[in-house]
């Protein structure tokens, strides 16, 4: 039986989407918010010796959370951006 494909997002993709929806957020703020439970759509899967965090973010979880907690996109990005 084939393994199902799980659509995941990177931290940068989530941050970009949040900004497009009007929430100015830094990578550190997003990372800390995921770690402390403020953003429940993602999980920290490991923390390295230097403190570098690795996240597991399912796109379905993020988009469901964003639809409930963030507004619509403020502007569409142009194809040249």
pLDDT (tens digit, 9 = 90+) per residue, 23-46? 999 999 999 999 999 999 999 999
The pTM assigned to this predicted structure is 0.80
For residue 76, pLDDT over 90 is answered with no
pLDDT score recorded for residue 63? 93
For residue 81, pLDDT over 60 is answered with no
In a domain, 16, yes or no: yes
Phi, psi (rounded to 5 degrees) for 56: -120, 115
In a domain, 54, yes or no: yes
**Number of separate domains in the chain:** 1
pLDDT score recorded for residue 78? 45
% of the chain residues with pLDDT over 70:
85
Cα-based distances in Å from 74 to 5, 23, 24, 28, 59: 30, 10, 12, 23, 20
Q: Is the CB of residue 11 less than 8 Å from the CB of residue 55?
A: yes
In a domain, 58, yes or no: yes
In a domain, 25, yes or no: yes
For 33, the 3-state DSSP assignment is helix
In a domain, 81, yes or no: no
Q: Which domain holds residue 53?
A: 11-69
Give the residue from 77, 72, 36 showing the smallest Cα distance to 53.
36
d(CA 42, CA 59): 9
């Amino acid at each position: 039986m084939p393994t199902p494909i799980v659509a995941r997002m990177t931290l940068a993709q989530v941050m970009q989407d949040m900004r497009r929806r009007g929430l100015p957020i830094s990578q550190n703020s997003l990372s800390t918010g995921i770690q402390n439970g403020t953003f429940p759509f993602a999980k920290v899967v490991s923390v390295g010796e230097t403190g570098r965090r690795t996240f597991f973010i399912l796109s379905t979880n993020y988009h469901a959370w964003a639809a409930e907690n963030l507004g619509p996109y403020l502007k569409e990005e142009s194809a040249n951006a």
